[in-house]
Amino acid sequence: MKAYIYNGGGGPEVIELTERSIPKVGAGEVLIKVEAFGLNRADVQQRKGVYPPPAGASDIPGLEVSGTIVELGEGVIGWSAGTRVAALLAGGGYAQYVNVPAELLINIPENLSSTDAAALPEVAATVVSNLFIEGGLAEGQTLLIHGGAGGIGSMAIQLAKAAGARVFVTASSAEKLEYCAQLGADEGINYREEDFEQRVKELTDGAGVDLILDVIGAKYLESNIKALAVGGRVVVIGLQGGTKAELNLGMMLAKRARVIATTLRARPLDEKTQIIKQTVARVLPLVEADKLSINVSKTFEFSDLTSAHEYFDSGEHTGKIVVKV
């Protein structure tokens, strides 16, 4: 089969097409013939050499796919060859075939295309695990999403609104903020023109927000803590703004605040299984009722993966980027 790997760390020029054997299906796994895969920031970070795959994972990048089951491993029940599925992966998605534990499959609703389905597993599981499982977001609470126009942000806005939360977002332009508003965001903050900490205080009459979903990391840590309400939580899922910052423990004590840092990719199978179960329960009813926009902003052909990465690096996109195999 054809697959892509990274030949070193750096820009899109390190992406290399190679030939690999079709994976052998182990016990409890299924083999998927891939129809499309999503491009995620984690893929880009791996390409740059700062986010290596976890031990035992494939060196082929790619964390989510859609396709058709073509083979079942020993002990797999409840699935059959020919079923259209999406899957959450630890790696291996940039290929024509991939094997995955059956627990990490999502049955694709009839009203969902393979392109949209490929954009669903990683982003939906990330949002569900961090907003609801880790962050404890509940009806009536207020959420601040940094990078609201990206794939994670687009999904987070919609799932938070479906759960009855009030949603603020940050983004880099008026156009991106308008995009967020169309998805349901209550307030938008242009971080290039406004101080988000100050704006949050204005929007909440000084109370602060209950939860912050943060992809920036160190650069925003102090301002995030200041923007929290009493009992507030910051969930850090990205480090675009660095890894080290000072933390004012006195302020955290006064606010009874929590900082939670998580990743999805390296979690053990039992944890991922529970996340997928909750993701299916929260997300698929919205998909089936046509109440969730997957927001695939652009698609690329398998032969043009380098261009897909270049487009991601440009920062111009909103929503998700998908590659068709």
Same domain, 54 and 115: yes
* Tally of structural domains, the chain: 2
Same domain, 114 and 161: no
Same domain, 112 and 35: yes
**pLDDT at res. 67:** 98
Q: Which residue has the tokens 């006064």?
A: 254
CATH of the domain at 194: 3.40.50.720
232 and 211 Cβ atoms separated by less than 8 Å: yes
Q: Tens digit of pLDDT for each residue in 23-79?
A: 999 999 999 999 999 999 999 999 999 999 999 899 999 999 999 999 999 999 999
Same domain, 43 and 148: no
Among 261, 294, 312, the domain boundary falls at 261
Same domain, 128 and 251: yes
Same domain, 96 and 128: no
Q: Tens digit of pLDDT for each residue in 99-117?
A: 999 999 999 998 999 999 9
Among 261, 277, 295, the domain boundary falls at 261
Same domain, 293 and 320: yes
Same domain, 242 and 139: yes
Please tell me the pTM assigned to this model.
0.93
Same domain, 157 and 233: yes
Domain extent, residue 16, equals: 2-120+265-324
Same domain, 163 and 111: no
- 149/191 Cα distance (integer angstroms): 13
**pLDDT at res. 234:** 98
**pLDDT at res. 186:** 98
Same domain, 111 and 170: no
DSSP letters for 178-227:
HHHHHHT-SEEEETTTS-HHHHHHHHTTT--EEEEEESS-GGGHHHHHHH
CATH of the domain at 87: 3.90.180.10
Same domain, 115 and 128: no
